Chains A and B, each alone.
Chain A
Amino acid sequence: MHLYNLTLQPPTAASQAIVGNFSGARQQEIIVSHGTRLELLRPDVQTGKMSTVIATDVFGSIRSLAAFRLTGGTKDYAIVGSDSGRIVILDYDPKTSSFVKLHQETYGKSGARRIVPGQYLATDPKGRSVMISAMEKSKLVYILNRDAAANLTISSPLEAHKANAIIHHIVGLDVGFENPMYAALEVDYTESDQDHTGQAFKDTEKMLTYYELDLGLNHVVRKWSEPTDRRANLLVQVPGGQVASSERFDGPSGVLVCCEDHIIYRHMDARQHRVPIPRRKHPLEDPNRSIIIVTAVMHKMKGAFFFLLQSEDGDLYKVTIEHEEEEVRALKIKYFDTVPVASSLCILKSGFLFVAAEFGNHYLYQFQKLGDDDNEPEFSSTSYPSFGMSNPDAPLPYAYFRPRPLENLVVADEIESIEPIVDSKVLNVLPNSDAPQIFTACGKGARSTFRTLRHGLEVEESVSSELPGIPNAVWTTKRKEDDEYDSYIILSFVNGTLVLSIGETIEEVQDTGFLSSAPTLAVQQIGADALLQVHPQGIRHVLADRRVNEWRVPQSKTIVSATTNKRQVVVALSSAELVYFELDLDGQLNEYQDRKAMGSTVLALSIAEVPEGRQRTPYLAVGCEDQTVRIISLDPETTLEAISLQALTAPASSICIADMLDASINKTQPTMFVNIGLQNGVLLRTVLDPTNGQLTDTRTRFLGTRPIRLIRVQIQRNPAILALSSRSWLNYTHQNLMHFTPLIFENFDYAWSFSAELSPEGLIGISGSTLRIFQIPKLGTKLKQDSMPLSYTPRKFITHPTNNYFYMIESDHRVMGPDAATNKLDELRKQGQIIDDEVVDLPPEVFGRPKAPAGTWASCIRIIDPVEAKTVAVVPIDCNEAAFSIAVVPFSARGGELHLVVGTAADTLVSPRSCSSGFLRTYKFTNDGANLEFQHKTETDDVPLALLGFQGRLLAGVGKALRIYEIGKKKLLRKVENKSFASAIISLNTQGSRILVGDMQESVSFAVYKPPENRLLIFADDTQPRWTTAVAMVDYNTVAVGDRFGNVFVNRLDAKVSEQVDDDPTGAGILHEKGQLMGAPHKTRMLAHFHVGDLITSIHKVSLVAGGREILLYTCLHGTIGILVPFVSKEDVDFISTLEQHMRTEQSSLVGRDQLSWRGYYVPVKAVVDGDLCETFARLPAQKQSGIAAELDRTVGEVLKKLEQLRTTSSGF
């Protein structure tokens, strides 16, 4: 077995975001790290929308990011700290639209180790140096400078290590142009390591340490170290330093130390100021809970600055410092607004706040005001004795605020993020769909969603109107060449033509010069200001002054097909002759003296647009009934001479020549593509060689069951092709690469570009008798998401064998269930407390639910209709129980009646896993599955984490035990048990009487149930311990597993062992066999192994294309969706592996991680080719491309074709 790994959707989680002028233009941009991917986003200041400029896989894990700018520079650079053991400085090159590695300095081993720097990054605000630090001990300082040619230079590292110290955070101090200084939060553990009683650990102090980089002596000194609050977690830079022009200080310098419940201002030799972090005035809020600040941002404006700090509940606080020169007078804090909890906040100078959310969609907010003059209570350090520091160990009295909807911010844009995907299913449930959909349960807490992903582009309909009859074609046209928008819509019916004019309203017009008594074949705005209509009897050339020149076809012949552009017209007659017209310089349409006899009925014709600055396009493509396509010259010297011929497998139904940019073929100029749609629904895409007119590089794709119709349209001012079959597809260029994606919309019979004032970038289409005007808003996306809100974090969901509903379990830790919450509120009311209902009723999607102590759970079962994407019913789970597993079981004791069994546990603690009692709740389906009727619940001794229907009974993984239960009247009855699993059973799969048991820490074991002796026996397991997260049974002997560290691997059992076990009727043989390596008697063999870099949450064996091969599809926590495609032939394996080898040397990772060691992070990669790396072949410079292709004995086109073929035949993407 050899697999090809391909990412269908890259991760969408944002682990960090930085802001800066990366392109060097005046506009600010944002770089977002998606963990293994860097994306550059550009917010449009006018519309407030974010657009992706580029996104690149880095083949490594990004741990930290920082932006810096050299003194006096206008351009920001990005520094990346990763797991490569290297510091990398990236520059965005707007010319090639790519990140360029300026410097890459190795300092340590690869991997996310505790003493190898890369975890924290801090830069000097003046861009003179950077500190990179590890979790423990190591800190390195690099000096940044520029050389004589103004290039960025980097020094060798200076060490600022402190042995036996854990580093919590580092930040660069703003000291103006004095020596750069860094502040670090450190804990020394030397003493607590010596003391086993833990007393020393308690007494350990957290130190705030200043490191000074002496630029003159070129070394780092520890300047100042003072104990600070023990529970400090974050440092924030405070502006400082003198402005060169005036004597004024920008700020007091120093840092804000964010601790639990408090914020302290600190600086060397300066007074401390402390304020409490205000907490929500919510009746259900746990008063003993502490709050920490999770992220912070400082913003400098002219002569002023402020901080926005975000608490772990998502509340933003505005912090200001009152200062007189370098002396701080007061530290003030007030509530600002509430936004989703962010991993990074970015403030743009144009007045936007970008929130890179920890989980779920990311947001761009616009500032309405800065909360300067509202009634929000402000807490100042001056109102506490000695600025809040009279007793640093005692907490300050709590400060409260009232949460409220957004007041200072408004949402400007939302970026969809599917992260975290907790569970998924791949099924085709939608009617009229030939490809399966991916259903995902995503999100965390109250912001959770259930999303349906469909392959295709989202379509936004703006107008839809019914027509009197069923038209067979539609066009729009301008009146003059230089018109901005279209003026007419022309509809062709079987017996006539209707012309509509576009104005304030769309209405029918008569006096346009078009013939309305016959159908139309083509419409064209021709020359400077004339219009052209081709109808079966002739061609009407309507001049600007409404005079009509008409060319009529000879007697007893008709025009069957026509193609036009701004200067040329070609028509095919029913006598299989071609007639060619060209516009002369006076605007007259002249017929070429000869007609070309084709010998076979012409079915389709196409010419390209006239290239800019030329008179004509030199090639005509003709599709004939004899299953050929011919290229015919339109060059004045060889007019109508045949150049080349291509045979087809079926008659052509439509042809379209278009000049489109595809950087994989030609980096600078558009390539001329001849697209040939066949009557059997297959599309051929060939490249027309501009020099000799030969057709090369043919690629095929099956589009649908109907004959294809191809239409050249304009998408974002670039040519694109709409291909209409039983599905509509769009072929367009996005970020210089060609994409081919279906539209998720009704089928069209015909379509055309549409440009009017209200929709300048639209398309118009007809489906049946309906006319639709629509836009395609999100180019470049391959999966369309439809989401539906959930109440709590989804855990698992399952399908029902007969109905179409999904059954999902949701549970949230540290959240009170609705019953418990109302009880508590009632109790408080009885005590005479006034409950602020407005605060209680705040929407939980935005504000979250009040945090409760550990061991409190809220949970429910939800029935979802995936077709309508709506909730059918919600069954709450009470008694502080949380649901962990779910299964539909046909109990044979009840005549195979289906029951839903939900595994729950009460008062569960996550770490270490414990509960007061586990339960198996049994429900009956009522109302065709739209509701559930509670039957009974069975106590268990541990948390049931996995359930499965097995031979008419229930198979349950309860903690370490695997059991089979039979249904009883009042309970489930335990029948068999096997308790020899290592930690906890988290997944179950079965086929026949074989059971695959996934253990939380010990990989997957093969077990078998032997009914005669009523035994559950383990007969094979894995040789390696694996922290299993997802398991899929590939076949009877093979299993695909995802583990917690981002690996996916395939294990197989020896066929002989498999047979031997099945042949043993009682299982006595297995029982008495000797165990091997302290485990089962047999071991599985690892066939393939690959590190994805994202935690895999589900694996499915599916076929994504109708009639296509089965592949493995996996979904990951951070939003990655990928596939593993088995190779069909040895030849392919050799070819692609060699290509991968070449790519490894050519394409070095942006973070400096070696691709091979990244993909073999924990275990060497085995029998899997990295398709993502191979596909970057398309982005390589042409010279390197041809070099690699030559080594492979292929042409560049062949390599690209192979890569595309691997992608499309397996996934259709």
Chain B
Amino acid sequence: MSSELRYTANTQLEHLHARYTGTGHADLSKYDWVTHQHRDTLATIVGHPTLTSFLAIADGESKGRIRFEMTE
């Protein structure tokens, strides 16, 4: 593989990383990685109505409050 090709592949990758938040990079710290994980999880909980309900029932709160705390 020529170096030029490797270079383009890299820029493409960087471009993709910039475009898709949460995909991480080589120098990712543990903290960053965990934050991304948490954000993914919280987004899933808010995005799926059943998961919001599930947490609301377990915690005795309203769905609106759960959604808010998850986004916060």
Which residues of A pack against B, CB within 8 Å?
A: 13, 15, 35, 61, 63, 83, 112-115, 118-119, 135-137, 163-164, 166, 168, 193, 196, 231, 233, 292-295, 312, 341, 343, 358-359, 419-420, 422, 444-445, 793, 812-815, 854, 910-911, 1044-1046, 1093-1095, 1116-1118
Contact = CB atoms under 8 A, between A and B. Distances in A.
Contacts of A113: 40, 43, 47
Interface in B47-66: 47-51, 53-54, 56-65
A445 B40 contact: no
B64 A444 contact: no
Contacts of B71: 135, 166, 168, 233
Contact of A292 (B42, B54, B64): B64
Given A63-B47, A114-B39, A294 B20 contact: no
B35 interface: yes
Given A343-B63, A1045-B48, 15 more contacts: A35-B50, A112-B44, A113-B47, A114-B40, A114-B43, A114-B44, A164-B21, A168-B71, A168-B72, A312-B62, A358-B62, A793-B57, A910-B58, A1095-B54, A1118-B50
A294 B71 CA distance: 14
Given A793-B57, A911-B59, A1095 B51 contact: yes
B60 A233 contact: no
B43 A341 contact: no
A294 B43 contact: no
Contacts of A13: 49, 53
A910 B47 CA distance: 21
Among B51, B54, B57, the one with the most A-chain Cβ atoms within 10 Å of its Cβ is B57
Interface residues of B, number: 32
A1094 B50 contact: yes
A1030 B47 CA distance: 22
A679 B5 CA distance: 82
B14 interface: no
A135 B22 contact: no
23 contacts: A13-B49, A13-B53, A61-B48, A83-B47, A114-B22, A114-B47, A115-B20, A119-B43, A135-B43, A166-B71, A168-B71, A233-B71, A294-B64, A312-B61, A343-B64, A358-B53, A359-B57, A793-B60, A813-B58, A854-B59, A911-B59, A1045-B51, A1118-B53
B32 A814 contact: no
10 cross-chain pairs, A with B, having the tightest CB-CB distances, nearest first? A294-B64, A112-B47, A114-B43, A813-B60, A312-B62, A1095-B50, A814-B60, A15-B49, A233-B68, A135-B43
B31 interface: yes
B60 A812 contact: yes
B12 to A, nearest CB: 18
Contact of A1046 (B20, B50, B60, B61): B50
A1117 B53 contact: yes
Nearest to A109: B20
Contact of B59 (A196, A233, A910): A910
Among B22, B31, B71, the one with the most A-chain Cβ atoms within 10 Å of its Cβ is B71
A402 to B, nearest CB: 22
A717 B53 CA distance: 41
B17 to A, nearest CB: 12
B28 to A, nearest CB: 11
Contacts of B43: 112-114, 119, 135-136
B35 A193 contact: yes
Contacts of B60: 444-445, 793, 812-815
B65 A115 contact: no
Given A136-B21, A136-B39, A292-B65, A193 B59 contact: no
A166 B71 CA distance: 8
Contacts of A35: 49-50
Contacts of B65: 292, 294, 312
A260 B72 CA distance: 12
A170 to B, nearest CB: 12
Given A168-B71, A358-B56, A294 B50 contact: no
A196 B30 CA distance: 11
A343 B39 CA distance: 23
B59 A814 contact: yes
A112 B50 CA distance: 12
A118 B40 CA distance: 15
Contacts of B63: 294, 341, 343, 358
Among A35, A136, A1093, the one with the most B-chain Cβ atoms within 10 Å of its Cβ is A136
B20 to A, nearest CB: 7
A785 B65 CA distance: 30
Given A63-B47, A815-B60, A1117-B53, A163 B31 contact: no
Contacts of A233: 64, 68, 71-72
B64 A341 contact: yes
Contacts of A1046: 48, 50
B4 to A, nearest CB: 29
Contacts of A164: 21
A65 to B, nearest CB: 12
A61 B45 CA distance: 13
A422 B62 CA distance: 16
B49 A61 contact: yes
A1097 to B, nearest CB: 9
A550 B60 CA distance: 76
A970 to B, nearest CB: 33
Nearest to A856: B60
Given A135-B43, A163-B21, A193-B32, A341 B62 contact: yes
B21 A115 contact: yes
Nearest to A815: B60
B47 to A, nearest CB: 3
Contacts of A420: 53, 57
Contacts of B51: 1044-1045, 1095
Among B59, B61, B64, the one with the most A-chain Cβ atoms within 10 Å of its Cβ is B64
B57 A135 contact: no
Contacts of A422: 57
A681 B72 CA distance: 62
A1046 B68 CA distance: 23
Given A136-B43, A358-B63, A444 B56 contact: yes
A1044 B54 contact: yes
Contacts of A359: 53, 56-57
Contact of B46 (A119, A358, A910): A119
B48 to A, nearest CB: 6
Contacts of B20: 115
A812 B47 CA distance: 25
Given A136-B43, A168-B71, A1117 B58 contact: no
A803 B72 CA distance: 50
Given A233-B68, A294-B63, A793-B60, A137 B47 contact: no
Contact of A119 (B47, B58, B61, B68): B47
B57 A444 contact: yes
B65 to A, nearest CB: 5
Nearest to B35: A193
Contacts of A231: 72
Interface in B1-50: 20-22, 31-32, 35, 39-40, 42-44, 46-50
A88 to B, nearest CB: 17
A162 to B, nearest CB: 11
A13 B49 CA distance: 9
Contacts of B42: 114, 135
A213 B72 CA distance: 28
B63 to A, nearest CB: 5
Contact of A196 (B21, B31, B53): B31
A293 B64 CA distance: 8
A15 B49 CA distance: 7
B72 to A, nearest CB: 8
A673 B14 CA distance: 67
A292 B42 CA distance: 19
A868 B53 CA distance: 31
A1116 B54 CA distance: 11
B10 to A, nearest CB: 20
A1118 B63 CA distance: 13
